[in-house]
């Protein structure tokens, strides 16, 4: 008898209830490796990743390894990442692989298998994904993720300023003609969550979006002034901390999307160094917890 996996949205909700909405980024930049006293090598990113997981476990609920920093070290870097992913999941953390993959459907399906298939050596709980080849290109990954109790965060309005020209462009064709790219992707994800058979029982969907804390949601064509989506929309929110987004502005920035926000920070936490990171995470969990959503 096969047991249905718990939907990612439910797991996310439980983690937020237990630990709050902070996500600790695992971004072993070369400069951070140097200041932490590690070599810029596969062994260095592995030790950096493991120390970060140790500091996050039991204090925060979610971690997000940025896979690029491991990929820099080739096959050995991937082995390091496999270890970090496994240790994080064993520690009970919800793991978002920040892989930002996208392609034609048949190829992006393979990315989905790599990062989300139960038993894969790179298995995470969710991954970041790009739908700039059309939301239809990731449809099968959404289906597979739901089936396995996994989640996706689809890039909608990213935190980097140069993204606006593309993401605020207005669609000429499709049923969402007249929407911005960011608005159409977000509306498509909301509609997907609403289309699940048990949608009425879910308070959070399993497919989310990425909307940076540095973004002006109205200018990006996002419905921040409308009714909150039902089921709630998970929103991975980088851009607080190092990139300048102000935590106390969370509600003002995200409006109707606030209750699904995951505050994702990397450098602002990691700068505390290996000995100060656990305290920095605990402090930030408290600060995030005190913000009104």
Ligand X SMILES: O=C(O)c1cc(=O)[nH]c(=O)n1[C@@H]1O[C@H](COP(=O)(O)O)[C@@H](O)[C@H]1O
**Contact present, 235 and 16 (Cβ < 8 Å):** no
Rank residues 25 and 61 by Cβ distance to ligand X and give the closer one: 25
Stretch that binds ligand X, among 10-18, 73-81, 238-246, 250-258 (CB under 6 A): 238-246
Stretch that binds ligand X, among 86-94, 105-113, 171-179, 263-271 (CB under 6 A): 263-271
Q: Which position among 7, 22, 27, 131 is part of the footprint of ligand X (CB under 6 A)?
A: 27
174: left (phi over 0), alpha (psi -120 to 50) or beta: left
The answer to whether residue 206 forms part of the interface with ligand X (CB under 6 A) is no
Q: What is the nearest approach in angstroms of ligand X to the Cβ of residue 75?
A: 22
**Contact present, 137 and 131 (Cβ < 8 Å):** yes
Indicate the SS3 state at residue 86.
helix
Q: Distance (Å, rounded) from C-alpha 11 to C-alpha 141? A: 19
Contact string 83-102 vs ligand X (x = CB under 6 A):
---------------x----
Q: Report CA Rg, the chain.
A: 18
Catalytic residue among 29, 89, 100, 242: 100
Q: Distance (Å, rounded) from C-alpha 140 to C-alpha 108? A: 9
The answer to whether residue 267 forms part of the interface with ligand X (CB under 6 A) is yes
Q: Which position among 9, 20, 25, 232 is part of the footprint of ligand X (CB under 6 A)?
A: 25
Q: In whole angstroms, what separates CA 145 from the centre of its chain?
A: 14
**Contact present, 26 and 66 (Cβ < 8 Å):** yes
Number of residues lying near ligand X (CB under 6 A): 20
The answer to whether residue 266 forms part of the interface with ligand X (CB under 6 A) is yes
Residues binding ligand X (CB under 6 A): 25, 27, 66, 98, 128, 158-159, 210, 212, 236, 238-239, 241-243, 264-268
């Amino acid at each position: 008898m096969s047991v249905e996996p718990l939907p990612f949205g439910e797991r996310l909700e439980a983690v937020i209830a237990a630990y709050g909405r902070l996500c600790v980024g695992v971004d072993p930049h070369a400069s951070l490796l140097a200041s932490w006293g590690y070599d810029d090598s596969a062994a260095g990113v592995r030790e950096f990743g493991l120390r970060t997981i140790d500091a996050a476990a039991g204090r925060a609920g979610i971690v997000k390894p940025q896979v690029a920093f491991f990929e820099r070290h080739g096959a050995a870097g991937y082995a390091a990442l496999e270890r970090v992913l496994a240790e994080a999941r064993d520690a009970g953390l919800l793991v978002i692989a920040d892989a930002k993959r996208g392609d034609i459907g048949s190829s992006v399906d393979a990315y989905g298998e790599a990062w989300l298939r139960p038993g894969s050596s790179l298995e995470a709980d969710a991954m970041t994904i790009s739908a700039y080849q059309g939301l239809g290109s990731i449809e099968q990954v959404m289906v597979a993720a739901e089936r396995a109790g996994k989640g996706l965060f689809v890039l909608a309005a990213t935190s980097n300023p140069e993204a606006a020209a593309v993401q605020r462009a207005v669609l000429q064709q499709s049923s969402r003609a007249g929407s911005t790219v960011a608005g159409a992707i977000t509306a498509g994800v909301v509609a997907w969550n609403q289309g699940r058979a048990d949608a009425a029982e879910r308070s959070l969907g399993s497919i989310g979006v990425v909307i940076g804390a540095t973004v002006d949601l109205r200018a990006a064509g996002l419905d921040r002034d409308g009714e909150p989506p039902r089921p709630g929309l998970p929103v991975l929110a980088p851009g607080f901390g190092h990139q300048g987004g102000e935590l106390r502005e969370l509600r003002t920035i995200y409006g109707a999307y606030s209750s699904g926000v995951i505050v994702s920070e990397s450098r602002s936490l990691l700068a505390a160094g290996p000995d100060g990171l656990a305290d920095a995470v605990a402090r930030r969990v408290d600060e995030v917890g005190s913000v009104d959503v």
